Structure 1
Amino acid sequence: MNKQKRFWMRTIILTVLASAVVYVVYSSLTMDKEKSLDNGDEAPNFALTDLQGMKHVLDDYKGQGVFLNFWGTWCKPCEYEMPYIQSQYEQFTDKGVQVLAVNVNEADFVVEKFRDRHKLTFPIVIDKNNLVQQSYLINNLPATYLIDKDGRVVDYTTGSLTEERIQQMMEQIKP
Protein backbone atom coordinates (compact mmCIF):
# COMPACT_ATOMS: atom_id res chain seq x y z
CA MET A 1 0.00 0.00 0.00
CA ASN A 2 2.91 2.32 0.75
CA LYS A 3 4.23 1.98 -2.84
CA GLN A 4 0.79 2.74 -4.22
CA LYS A 5 0.54 5.98 -2.16
CA ARG A 6 3.96 7.11 -3.38
CA PHE A 7 2.97 6.33 -6.97
CA TRP A 8 -0.18 8.49 -6.72
CA MET A 9 1.64 11.26 -4.89
CA ARG A 10 4.33 11.38 -7.59
CA THR A 11 1.68 11.29 -10.31
CA ILE A 12 -0.15 14.25 -8.75
CA ILE A 13 3.08 16.25 -8.35
CA LEU A 14 4.14 15.56 -11.94
CA THR A 15 0.67 16.52 -13.20
CA VAL A 16 0.77 19.82 -11.32
CA LEU A 17 4.29 20.57 -12.63
CA ALA A 18 3.32 19.67 -16.20
CA SER A 19 0.25 21.89 -15.94
CA ALA A 20 2.40 24.78 -14.71
CA VAL A 21 4.82 24.37 -17.62
CA VAL A 22 1.96 24.27 -20.13
CA TYR A 23 0.43 27.41 -18.56
CA VAL A 24 3.74 29.33 -18.69
CA VAL A 25 4.34 28.39 -22.33
CA TYR A 26 0.76 29.26 -23.30
CA SER A 27 0.91 32.59 -21.44
CA SER A 28 4.17 33.63 -23.05
CA LEU A 29 2.91 32.78 -26.53
CA THR A 30 -0.41 34.57 -26.18
CA MET A 31 0.78 37.56 -24.13
CA ASP A 32 0.69 40.93 -25.88
CA LYS A 33 4.03 42.22 -26.97
CA GLU A 34 5.20 45.39 -25.26
CA LYS A 35 2.77 48.09 -26.29
CA SER A 36 3.56 51.66 -27.09
CA LEU A 37 1.84 54.56 -28.73
CA ASP A 38 2.08 54.45 -32.51
CA ASN A 39 3.94 56.98 -34.62
CA GLY A 40 1.53 59.73 -35.58
CA ASP A 41 -0.61 59.32 -32.46
CA GLU A 42 -1.28 62.43 -30.44
CA ALA A 43 0.90 62.36 -27.34
CA PRO A 44 -1.26 62.17 -24.20
CA ASN A 45 -1.25 65.52 -22.43
CA PHE A 46 -0.20 65.72 -18.80
CA ALA A 47 0.68 68.25 -16.14
CA LEU A 48 3.46 67.47 -13.67
CA THR A 49 5.47 69.64 -11.30
CA ASP A 50 9.25 69.86 -11.41
CA LEU A 51 11.66 69.95 -8.49
CA GLN A 52 11.42 73.75 -8.28
CA GLY A 53 7.62 73.65 -8.03
CA MET A 54 7.02 74.78 -11.63
CA LYS A 55 4.14 73.10 -13.47
CA HIS A 56 4.92 71.55 -16.87
CA VAL A 57 2.00 70.86 -19.22
CA LEU A 58 2.94 68.91 -22.35
CA ASP A 59 0.52 70.91 -24.53
CA ASP A 60 2.43 74.09 -23.57
CA TYR A 61 5.40 72.71 -25.54
CA LYS A 62 3.53 72.65 -28.87
CA GLY A 63 5.64 74.36 -31.51
CA GLN A 64 8.75 72.67 -30.09
CA GLY A 65 10.08 69.14 -30.25
CA VAL A 66 9.97 67.23 -26.96
CA PHE A 67 12.41 64.53 -25.89
CA LEU A 68 10.25 62.80 -23.26
CA ASN A 69 12.38 60.47 -21.15
CA PHE A 70 11.02 58.14 -18.43
CA TRP A 71 13.61 57.10 -15.86
CA GLY A 72 14.49 56.19 -12.27
CA THR A 73 17.50 56.92 -10.06
CA TRP A 74 17.93 53.19 -9.37
CA CYS A 75 18.09 52.38 -13.10
CA LYS A 76 21.74 52.03 -14.21
CA PRO A 77 20.98 52.39 -17.96
CA CYS A 78 19.05 55.58 -17.09
CA GLU A 79 22.03 56.93 -15.17
CA TYR A 80 24.34 56.03 -18.07
CA GLU A 81 22.40 58.15 -20.58
CA MET A 82 21.73 61.20 -18.37
CA PRO A 83 25.04 63.02 -19.09
CA TYR A 84 24.41 62.53 -22.82
CA ILE A 85 20.87 63.89 -22.53
CA GLN A 86 22.28 66.90 -20.63
CA SER A 87 24.95 67.52 -23.27
CA GLN A 88 22.45 67.39 -26.14
CA TYR A 89 19.91 69.46 -24.20
CA GLU A 90 22.52 72.22 -24.04
CA GLN A 91 23.00 71.94 -27.82
CA PHE A 92 19.33 71.78 -28.82
CA THR A 93 17.37 73.84 -26.31
CA ASP A 94 17.92 77.03 -28.35
CA LYS A 95 16.93 75.16 -31.51
CA GLY A 96 13.39 74.40 -30.31
CA VAL A 97 13.94 70.98 -28.73
CA GLN A 98 13.02 70.54 -25.08
CA VAL A 99 13.76 67.72 -22.66
CA LEU A 100 11.22 66.57 -20.10
CA ALA A 101 12.59 63.89 -17.80
CA VAL A 102 9.77 62.03 -16.06
CA ASN A 103 10.94 60.28 -12.92
CA VAL A 104 8.73 57.35 -12.02
CA ASN A 105 7.46 57.82 -8.50
CA GLU A 106 10.52 58.50 -6.37
CA ALA A 107 10.94 60.90 -3.47
CA ASP A 108 11.91 64.48 -4.31
CA PHE A 109 14.98 64.26 -2.06
CA VAL A 110 16.36 61.22 -3.90
CA VAL A 111 15.75 62.78 -7.32
CA GLU A 112 17.31 66.11 -6.21
CA LYS A 113 20.46 64.32 -5.05
CA PHE A 114 20.67 62.49 -8.40
CA ARG A 115 20.11 65.75 -10.33
CA ASP A 116 22.78 67.57 -8.34
CA ARG A 117 25.32 64.73 -8.60
CA HIS A 118 24.94 64.65 -12.40
CA LYS A 119 24.59 68.46 -12.79
CA LEU A 120 21.34 68.15 -14.74
CA THR A 121 19.66 71.39 -15.79
CA PHE A 122 16.73 70.19 -17.91
CA PRO A 123 13.27 69.96 -16.32
CA ILE A 124 12.76 66.91 -14.14
CA VAL A 125 9.19 66.13 -13.17
CA ILE A 126 8.01 63.34 -10.89
CA ASP A 127 5.07 61.12 -11.80
CA LYS A 128 4.03 60.48 -8.19
CA ASN A 129 0.97 58.35 -8.98
CA ASN A 130 2.30 56.69 -12.19
CA LEU A 131 -0.60 58.03 -14.26
CA VAL A 132 1.67 59.50 -16.95
CA GLN A 133 3.71 56.31 -17.05
CA GLN A 134 0.47 54.35 -17.54
CA SER A 135 -0.90 56.69 -20.22
CA TYR A 136 2.34 56.28 -22.18
CA LEU A 137 2.30 52.48 -21.67
CA ILE A 138 5.76 52.44 -20.07
CA ASN A 139 6.91 49.10 -18.69
CA ASN A 140 10.70 49.17 -19.00
CA LEU A 141 13.13 51.96 -18.17
CA PRO A 142 14.63 53.98 -19.61
CA ALA A 143 11.99 54.75 -22.20
CA THR A 144 11.96 57.73 -24.54
CA TYR A 145 9.24 59.21 -26.71
CA LEU A 146 9.99 61.77 -29.40
CA ILE A 147 7.18 64.26 -29.83
CA ASP A 148 7.10 66.68 -32.75
CA LYS A 149 6.09 70.35 -32.76
CA ASP A 150 2.46 69.36 -33.41
CA GLY A 151 2.30 67.14 -30.33
CA ARG A 152 2.45 63.87 -32.27
CA VAL A 153 4.56 60.83 -31.44
CA VAL A 154 7.45 60.48 -33.88
CA ASP A 155 9.34 57.60 -32.29
CA TYR A 156 9.60 55.44 -29.18
CA THR A 157 12.56 53.53 -27.81
CA THR A 158 13.52 51.67 -24.66
CA GLY A 159 16.97 51.03 -23.32
CA SER A 160 20.00 53.20 -22.79
CA LEU A 161 20.93 55.66 -25.51
CA THR A 162 24.33 56.78 -26.72
CA GLU A 163 25.08 60.45 -27.15
CA GLU A 164 25.13 60.02 -30.94
CA ARG A 165 21.70 58.43 -30.89
CA ILE A 166 20.30 61.19 -28.67
CA GLN A 167 21.69 63.79 -31.08
CA GLN A 168 20.02 62.01 -34.03
CA MET A 169 16.74 61.85 -32.14
CA MET A 170 16.82 65.55 -31.27
CA GLU A 171 17.60 66.41 -34.90
CA GLN A 172 14.56 64.35 -35.86
CA ILE A 173 12.18 66.49 -33.77
CA LYS A 174 13.82 69.87 -34.29
CA PRO A 175 11.13 72.21 -35.66
Structure 2
Amino acid sequence: MNRRIISILTLVIATGLIIFVIATDREKPLGVEKGLKAIDFTLPVWGEEGVEGSLSDYEGDVIILNFWATWCPPCKDEMPDFMQFQEDYGDLGLQVLTVNMYYYERRATVEEDIQNFMEEVNVTLPTLLDIEGEVNNTYQPPGFPMTYIIDRDRVIQQVVRGEINYEMLEHLALPIAKETD
Protein backbone atom coordinates (compact mmCIF):
# COMPACT_ATOMS: atom_id res chain seq x y z
CA MET A 1 0.00 0.00 0.00
CA ASN A 2 2.81 2.43 0.85
CA ARG A 3 4.47 1.71 -2.48
CA ARG A 4 1.30 2.53 -4.30
CA ILE A 5 0.87 5.86 -2.44
CA ILE A 6 4.51 6.77 -3.10
CA SER A 7 4.11 5.94 -6.80
CA ILE A 8 0.94 8.02 -7.07
CA LEU A 9 2.56 10.95 -5.23
CA THR A 10 5.64 10.71 -7.46
CA LEU A 11 3.45 10.70 -10.56
CA VAL A 12 1.43 13.69 -9.32
CA ILE A 13 4.59 15.66 -8.48
CA ALA A 14 6.22 14.82 -11.82
CA THR A 15 3.08 15.81 -13.72
CA GLY A 16 2.92 19.07 -11.77
CA LEU A 17 6.55 19.85 -12.57
CA ILE A 18 6.04 19.14 -16.27
CA ILE A 19 2.99 21.41 -16.39
CA PHE A 20 4.90 24.13 -14.51
CA VAL A 21 7.88 23.96 -16.90
CA ILE A 22 5.64 24.05 -19.98
CA ALA A 23 3.55 26.94 -18.61
CA THR A 24 6.50 29.10 -17.58
CA ASP A 25 8.59 28.35 -20.68
CA ARG A 26 5.93 29.57 -23.13
CA GLU A 27 6.28 33.29 -22.49
CA LYS A 28 9.21 34.87 -24.28
CA PRO A 29 11.14 37.63 -22.54
CA LEU A 30 10.42 41.19 -23.71
CA GLY A 31 12.92 43.05 -25.84
CA VAL A 32 13.66 44.66 -29.18
CA GLU A 33 15.87 42.02 -30.78
CA LYS A 34 15.05 39.01 -32.93
CA GLY A 35 13.52 36.18 -30.88
CA LEU A 36 12.18 38.41 -28.10
CA LYS A 37 8.58 39.46 -27.55
CA ALA A 38 8.12 43.00 -28.89
CA ILE A 39 7.56 45.57 -26.18
CA ASP A 40 4.07 47.05 -26.35
CA PHE A 41 3.47 50.78 -26.54
CA THR A 42 0.55 53.17 -26.90
CA LEU A 43 0.82 56.38 -28.91
CA PRO A 44 -1.45 59.00 -30.48
CA VAL A 45 -2.83 58.15 -33.93
CA TRP A 46 -2.00 60.66 -36.66
CA GLY A 47 -5.01 62.62 -37.83
CA GLU A 48 -7.38 61.32 -35.14
CA GLU A 49 -7.65 63.78 -32.27
CA GLY A 50 -7.68 62.04 -28.89
CA VAL A 51 -7.32 58.53 -30.37
CA GLU A 52 -4.46 56.24 -29.35
CA GLY A 53 -3.19 53.03 -30.86
CA SER A 54 -1.05 50.24 -29.46
CA LEU A 55 1.16 47.54 -30.87
CA SER A 56 -0.98 45.04 -28.96
CA ASP A 57 -4.05 46.21 -30.91
CA TYR A 58 -2.67 44.04 -33.73
CA GLU A 59 -1.77 40.96 -31.70
CA GLY A 60 -2.81 37.90 -33.65
CA ASP A 61 -1.64 39.52 -36.90
CA VAL A 62 1.81 39.45 -38.43
CA ILE A 63 2.93 43.03 -37.78
CA ILE A 64 5.35 44.96 -39.93
CA LEU A 65 6.39 47.78 -37.62
CA ASN A 66 8.16 50.64 -39.38
CA PHE A 67 9.85 53.66 -37.76
CA TRP A 68 10.30 56.70 -40.00
CA ALA A 69 10.95 60.44 -40.08
CA THR A 70 9.88 63.10 -42.59
CA TRP A 71 13.45 64.19 -43.40
CA CYS A 72 14.52 60.61 -44.28
CA PRO A 73 14.55 60.00 -48.09
CA PRO A 74 14.60 56.17 -47.77
CA CYS A 75 11.59 56.41 -45.45
CA LYS A 76 9.67 58.21 -48.17
CA ASP A 77 10.91 55.80 -50.85
CA GLU A 78 9.79 52.64 -49.03
CA MET A 79 6.34 53.85 -47.92
CA PRO A 80 4.58 53.05 -51.25
CA ASP A 81 5.90 49.47 -51.04
CA PHE A 82 4.51 49.12 -47.51
CA MET A 83 1.13 50.37 -48.66
CA GLN A 84 1.04 48.06 -51.68
CA PHE A 85 2.13 45.11 -49.54
CA GLN A 86 -0.65 45.86 -47.03
CA GLU A 87 -3.18 46.05 -49.85
CA ASP A 88 -1.98 42.80 -51.45
CA TYR A 89 -1.56 40.67 -48.32
CA GLY A 90 -3.62 42.25 -45.56
CA ASP A 91 -6.22 39.50 -45.92
CA LEU A 92 -3.58 37.01 -44.69
CA GLY A 93 -3.55 38.75 -41.33
CA LEU A 94 -0.62 41.04 -42.13
CA GLN A 95 -0.67 44.59 -40.76
CA VAL A 96 1.79 47.35 -41.54
CA LEU A 97 1.96 49.79 -38.64
CA THR A 98 4.08 52.92 -38.99
CA VAL A 99 5.49 55.13 -36.26
CA ASN A 100 6.66 58.63 -37.01
CA MET A 101 9.65 59.37 -34.80
CA TYR A 102 8.23 62.78 -33.93
CA TYR A 103 10.94 63.11 -31.32
CA TYR A 104 13.51 63.57 -34.13
CA GLU A 105 11.50 65.95 -36.28
CA ARG A 106 12.19 69.70 -36.54
CA ARG A 107 10.25 71.17 -33.63
CA ALA A 108 9.22 74.42 -35.30
CA THR A 109 7.47 72.77 -38.26
CA VAL A 110 6.81 69.21 -37.09
CA GLU A 111 3.05 69.12 -37.67
CA GLU A 112 3.39 70.77 -41.09
CA ASP A 113 6.26 68.43 -42.07
CA ILE A 114 4.26 65.33 -41.13
CA GLN A 115 1.17 66.64 -42.93
CA ASN A 116 3.23 67.30 -46.08
CA PHE A 117 4.82 63.83 -45.92
CA MET A 118 1.46 62.11 -45.42
CA GLU A 119 -0.11 64.02 -48.34
CA GLU A 120 2.87 63.76 -50.70
CA VAL A 121 3.20 60.00 -50.22
CA ASN A 122 -0.57 59.55 -49.75
CA VAL A 123 -0.03 57.36 -46.67
CA THR A 124 -2.96 55.02 -46.08
CA LEU A 125 -1.43 53.02 -43.24
CA PRO A 126 -2.10 53.45 -39.52
CA THR A 127 0.48 55.95 -38.28
CA LEU A 128 1.32 56.56 -34.64
CA LEU A 129 3.31 59.55 -33.34
CA ASP A 130 6.18 59.09 -30.88
CA ILE A 131 5.78 62.62 -29.50
CA GLU A 132 7.48 62.10 -26.14
CA GLY A 133 10.19 59.75 -27.43
CA GLU A 134 8.77 56.77 -25.52
CA VAL A 135 9.24 54.31 -28.38
CA ASN A 136 12.60 55.84 -29.19
CA ASN A 137 13.77 55.26 -25.61
CA THR A 138 12.47 51.69 -25.63
CA TYR A 139 13.48 50.51 -29.11
CA GLN A 140 16.53 52.80 -29.53
CA PRO A 141 16.66 52.59 -33.32
CA PRO A 142 20.19 53.24 -34.62
CA GLY A 143 18.78 55.10 -37.63
CA PHE A 144 15.82 55.40 -39.95
CA PRO A 145 14.06 53.69 -41.47
CA MET A 146 13.91 50.75 -39.10
CA THR A 147 11.50 47.84 -39.56
CA TYR A 148 10.52 44.95 -37.31
CA ILE A 149 8.62 41.92 -38.55
CA ILE A 150 6.66 40.48 -35.66
CA ASP A 151 4.76 37.18 -35.63
CA ARG A 152 1.23 36.53 -34.41
CA ASP A 153 2.49 35.94 -30.85
CA ARG A 154 4.26 39.35 -30.93
CA VAL A 155 7.71 37.75 -31.17
CA ILE A 156 10.21 39.66 -33.31
CA GLN A 157 11.22 37.47 -36.26
CA GLN A 158 13.24 39.98 -38.31
CA VAL A 159 14.92 43.33 -37.72
CA VAL A 160 15.72 45.35 -40.85
CA ARG A 161 17.91 48.42 -40.53
CA GLY A 162 17.58 50.69 -43.53
CA GLU A 163 15.30 50.79 -46.52
CA ILE A 164 13.10 47.80 -47.30
CA ASN A 165 11.25 47.09 -50.55
CA TYR A 166 8.26 45.02 -51.67
CA GLU A 167 10.32 41.96 -52.62
CA MET A 168 12.07 41.98 -49.25
CA LEU A 169 8.70 42.18 -47.51
CA GLU A 170 7.48 39.18 -49.52
CA HIS A 171 10.63 37.25 -48.65
CA LEU A 172 10.66 38.13 -44.94
CA ALA A 173 7.02 38.49 -43.92
CA LEU A 174 4.99 36.15 -46.13
CA PRO A 175 6.57 32.93 -44.82
CA ILE A 176 5.70 34.03 -41.26
CA ALA A 177 2.10 34.75 -42.25
CA LYS A 178 1.75 31.48 -44.15
CA GLU A 179 3.26 29.26 -41.44
CA THR A 180 0.73 30.49 -38.91
CA ASP A 181 -2.21 31.13 -41.26
Length-normalised TM-score, structure 2: 0.72
In our comparison, the structure showing a higher alpha carbon Rg is 1
Aligned pair partner of 1:89 in 82, 86, 95? 86
Distance in 2 (CA, whole Å) between partners of 1:71 and 1:96 is 23
Provide the aligned C-alpha RMSD in A.
1.6
Q: Matched residue of 1:91: which SS?
A: helix
Q: Corresponding residue for 1:40?
A: 35
Q: Say if 1:112 and 1:93 are closer, same or farther in 2 by CA, change over 3 A.
A: farther
| Deviating more after overlay: 64-73 vs 46-55 | 46-55
Where in structure 2 are there 5+ consecutive unaligned residues? 1-30
Q: Corresponding residue for 1:14?
A: none
Q: Matched residue of 1:145: which SS?
A: strand
By how many angstroms is 1:70 displaced?
0.5
Aligned pair partner of 1:50 in 45, 54, 62? 45
Where in structure 1 are there 5+ consecutive unaligned residues? 1-35
1:167 and 2:170 aligned: yes
CA contact under 8 A between 2:32 and 2:39: conserved in structure 1?
no
CA contact under 8 A between 1:77 and 1:160: conserved in structure 2?
yes
Q: Say if 1:49 and 1:173 are closer, same or farther in 2 by CA, change over 3 A.
A: farther
By how many angstroms is 1:112 displaced?
2.1
Aligned pair partner of 2:62 in 58, 62, 65? 65
**After the TM superposition, which residues 17-166 of structure 1 pair with which residues of structure 2 at under 5 Å, given as runs?**
37-53=32-48, 54-105=51-102, 106=105, 107-166=110-169
* Percent identity of equivalent pairs: 31
By how many angstroms is 1:93 displaced?
1.7
Count of matched residue positions in the alignment of Structure 1 and Structure 2: 140
